[in-house]
Structure 1
Amino acid sequence: MKRLYDNELIYGRLLTVSQPHLIERYNKALAAFGLPPTKLESFDIDKTGFSPQIASELGDADYLDPNGVNRRFIILTPAQATLPVVHTWFSNTDALMFEFFNANTRAINALTIKDVIFGEIEDNVSRVEDIEDLLSIEQVEFRVLSAEDVLGKAAELRVLVDRLTNEPNAWRDDAMLEHMVDLAKVAGDIRENTLVPEQVVFRHDAFWTSHFGGCYVFVDDRMTTVIGNPEAPGFRRSRPWQVSYLSIADTGRVFRFLAETGRLDPPRASWLEGSGFLEHRAEMAIRGLLREAEPDADLNRIDPVWLQTWMHRHAAMIASDGTYPFLETAKREIAQSGQIDMARLPERFRFQLARAKPGHKDAWLTNRLISEYVPGDFVSRYVFNKQGFYADYAAYPDAFRHHVVEMLKTTYLKDKAGFRKRLYGL
């Protein structure tokens, strides 16, 4: 993974913490979680405060996620709001943290001037042991604490200010006034600073979780749909009148579900011809066959002439796999008629033409699910399904790993927003 780290393809865009006072605050949060302090003089953190270096130091990648549920967080600075989440059991951790930062900007800005904010994203389960545990999580609450108890002191000061305002003789209580001064030294002027987060409860909607080998939950008005391994505890057992269960291995049914619920963008010329989507999928298909045929080849020497020659020499292999010929046929049909009838296509190829409907609230999650069925498209896997990409990458031959990194650098990393907009409309 060092090659990925050196090229910021894993643990990229994190915030470096090296100031002694911030490290001290981080250690106070660790102590509150019952964890030993870090001895590092510098480390990086993500939006939740997770640090890969501290995880390595502790020998525990789940030190902020001990049971894979009720995620802990450590906030040192408002700047964390723009960072990614690089380690989580739930795909919507990032969105929930974003909502918390967005809803409580003033409080976070004020509190982090003097203190560290930490706590847990609590729901109503302490452990996930079967599918029903996942389905019972409908909302989460941020339980927010601070090391110097600025929150508690601000609340106490608020009560004393109200007493001073409403009780005629309260101003004669010298001990109370002195205590108010001491509290104000910590909490500041609470008339100007909003120190208590205003919104701490948020909906827990559609998500992917790494529990049970990977499981997707989609929420619609009248039905919740679970897509995962049928061997998962509780699969097809919990609330069958409210929950639909689809095996992730049933490509046809999963595709129909996404299409019928309006989560897919139908393959039409209006977006396919200008996006380069089909060309990208075809290129990924050929590179996958190259890896299979010549695992140790230096693929960075590829140019159009070399590639065309290779394809002619391996025409039987390409025809047997079928992906590239299918995409070329689809490209011609869309050019002629402007669309393609998905119902008559082989199920194993349908996801080659699929992307999430860009305006749908579940677009990112849907694209992640689609990537499960197009694992050879390592660029899109990296964009939407990093856990899947890292597992794939670990199994690649070293020469192909180098090729993957170079291609990600020249395609996605070169212009992330442009790539997502062009191919996926996001």
Structure 2
Amino acid sequence: MKRLIEKGLMFGNLIRVDSSAWIGLYNRALKKLIGRETALTEFHIDISGYSPEIGDELGDMDYLAPDGGNRYFILLTTEQKTAPMLNADLSVLRDVLRRFITENESQLFSLTARDAVIGEIDDQVWQLRSPADLPAIRHLRVSADTTGNHVAEADKLTAMIEQFRSDPDAWWDDVLIARMIEQAKKSGDVLRHPIRLDHTDFEVPDFWTDRFGGTYVIRSAQEPAVIFADPDHEIEVEGFLTLTISDRHALAAWLARNALAEPIINARGADAAAILRQKIDFILADAAVWLCLDTGNGTRAELRRAAARMGDDLPAEIRGLSALQRYAEQGGDWPVIDSGDPAYFHALRATSGPARDLVNRLLSELAPQDVRQLFITHKPLFYRLYQDWPDAKRAYVANMLAREYAMDKQGTREALFGPEPDMAEPEPAPASADPWGIPRVSLSKGVVGPWGRASGGAG
């Protein structure tokens, strides 16, 4: 992992904490949350205030996520909104915390000027005993206050003020007036400087969790589904279609029926030929490493020369992706690519909509040789697989990501996946449209179904 850290591909964009004031506030917050403190004089924190250095010091890499409990957070500054979230067991946690900070920024700015803000992200589900409990996660609620309880103290004074205003006899209530004066010493002038966090509840229609071997819950689709990465955890979930990552044909059909994915070659604004060439490069580089073939600096020409030496070991995905690339560049007959073809999921990207990022994450798990998409959309799986790769592949991947992604993250994401989806509801497709849209387009022409012919086996 050291190579990734040095290139800014792991633990990047964290907030540096090196002042005695911030360290004191952090320790005060940590003491209140978990009863422990850090002796470090410098460390880095993510959007939730989690520090990998402190995790290593305490011997607990999940010290802000107690086993079976809600995720705690510590805010020292509103600038944490730009940082990543490490060790997230729920894919939406960073987005929810970022929105919480953004939508309450003026209040949080005032609070963090005097104290650390601490809190938790509550999924409002008491216990997750089986995958059948996951659909109960529909909303996340953020509860927050300073270590000095400034928000709670302000709420007390606000309640007294409301009582004073609404009770016609309050002018003669010396006890109430005395309590208000005393409370104002703790909370300040809440009329001129109100302390109230209004945006604390967030809907969660779709998410991925690392629970039960890795599980996707996609509720926003017309046909809601729960998808298991580990078949051993698969159970029926009421009201949901249940699938596993190995159900290639069923997954392809579900993505098509619900218009959740589209062929890259037909995606609006995508340079399909360039994207397909890059995918071929990644697959060849992976195969060359495992076959112990020298690829020099991993240039496209060197990878093609290595491919010529692979013979029967040439990856099965190459034939389909090369056919699609030729079609994108030269036209001609549409390649026949069905869901049994190893190239199939490499050739798709998610359509715009609320589940776009989650579907791209699912596609990266179905086609993990595309290490760039895997890194962008599914970092937990990327880091886990990275540890078992040969050093030659680690070096190639780290250098490629530093060169082709880290230099322009936003531009790369838009080139691969399209513009970020807006908040508007997508317009429903006309009844005559097939799942790929109008005109009818599929990866395979002349066969039944927009996902290709149903061939046997899982592929």
The verdict on a shared fold, with TM-score over 0.5 as the criterion, is yes
Out of 9-18 and 177-186, give the one that drifted further: 177-186
Percent identical pairs in the alignment equals 29
Other structure's SS at 1:226 match: strand
Counterpart for residue 386 of structure 1: 379
Give me the whole-angstrom Cα distance separating, in 2, the residues matched to 1:25 and 1:181.
Answer: 28
Give me the whole-angstrom Cα distance separating, in 1, the residues matched to 2:209 and 2:168.
Answer: 57
Counterpart for residue 247 of structure 2: 250
TM-score using structure 1 length:
0.89
Give me the whole-angstrom Cα distance separating, in 2, the residues matched to 1:188 and 1:340.
Answer: 71
Shift, 1:341, TM fit: 6.8
Out of 176-185 and 258-267, give the one that drifted further: 176-185
Instruction: Please say if 1:231 is aligned against 2:245.
Output: no
Other structure's SS at 1:47 match: coil
Out of 80-89 and 153-162, give the one that drifted further: 153-162
| 1:237 aligned partner, one-letter code | E
Give me the whole-angstrom Cα distance separating, in 1, the residues matched to 2:154 and 2:133.
Answer: 37
Deviations 1:256-304 (A, max 9, x none): 2122211112343554545611111111111111111117x5x552445
Deviations 1:130-160 (A, max 9, x none): 1122111111222223210101221222234
Give me the whole-angstrom Cα distance separating, in 2, the residues matched to 1:362 and 1:356.
Answer: 8
Do the aligned partners of 2:220 and 2:354 also contact (CA within 8 Å) in 1?
A: no
Counterpart for residue 294 of structure 1: 292
Give me the whole-angstrom Cα distance separating, in 1, the residues matched to 2:140 and 2:317.
Answer: 43
Do the aligned partners of 2:318 and 2:343 also contact (CA within 8 Å) in 1?
A: no
Q: 1:395 aligns with which of 388, 391, 394?
A: 388
How do residues 4-403 of structure 1 correspond to structure 2 at under 5 angstroms?
A: 4-67=4-67, 69-163=69-163, 165=165, 180=180, 183-220=183-220, 223-228=223-228, 229-232=230-233, 235-239=234-238, 242-269=239-266, 271-273=269-271, 276-294=274-292, 297=294, 299=295, 301-318=297-314, 321-335=315-329, 337=331, 340=334, 344=338, 346-357=340-351, 359-403=352-396
RMSD of aligned alpha carbons: 2.6
| 2:88 aligned partner, one-letter code | T
Shift, 1:179, TM fit: 5.5
Q: Which runs of 5+ in 2 are unaligned?
A: 420-459
Do the aligned partners of 2:225 and 2:242 also contact (CA within 8 Å) in 1?
A: yes
Shift, 1:186, TM fit: 4.1
Structure 1 residues 9 and 304: CA distance shift in structure 2, 3 A: closer
Out of 276-285 and 160-169, give the one that drifted further: 160-169
More helix by share: 1
Give me the whole-angstrom Cα distance separating, in 1, the residues matched to 2:274 and 2:192.
Answer: 53
Do the aligned partners of 1:268 and 1:339 also contact (CA within 8 Å) in 2?
A: no
Shift, 1:339, TM fit: 9.2
Do the aligned partners of 1:47 and 1:83 also contact (CA within 8 Å) in 2?
A: yes
| 1:149 aligned partner, one-letter code | N
Residue-pair matches, total: 417
Give me the whole-angstrom Cα distance separating, in 1, the residues matched to 2:110 and 2:407.
Answer: 36
Q: 1:425 aligns with which of 377, 395, 418?
A: 418
Give me the whole-angstrom Cα distance separating, in 2, the residues matched to 1:246 and 1:345.
Answer: 15
Structure 1 residues 64 and 275: CA distance shift in structure 2, 3 A: farther
Deviations 1:219-261 (A, max 9, x none): 03664311003321xx33332xx11100111112112212221
Shift, 1:48, TM fit: 1.1
Do the aligned partners of 2:248 and 2:339 also contact (CA within 8 Å) in 1?
A: no
Do the aligned partners of 1:281 and 1:352 also contact (CA within 8 Å) in 2?
A: yes
| 1:37 aligned partner, one-letter code | E
Other structure's SS at 2:259 match: coil
Deviations 1:345-397 (A, max 9, x none): 6343210101111x211111111110112111111111111111111110112
Structure 1 residues 218 and 162: CA distance shift in structure 2, 3 A: closer
Give me the whole-angstrom Cα distance separating, in 1, the residues matched to 2:91 and 2:269.
Answer: 27
Shift, 1:311, TM fit: 2.6
Other structure's SS at 2:216 match: strand
Give me the whole-angstrom Cα distance separating, in 1, the residues matched to 2:194 and 2:177.
Answer: 22
Structure 1 residues 411 and 29: CA distance shift in structure 2, 3 A: same
Do the aligned partners of 1:67 and 1:127 also contact (CA within 8 Å) in 2?
A: no
TM-score using structure 2 length:
0.83
Shift, 1:314, TM fit: 2.4
Q: Which runs of 5+ in 1 are unaligned?
A: none
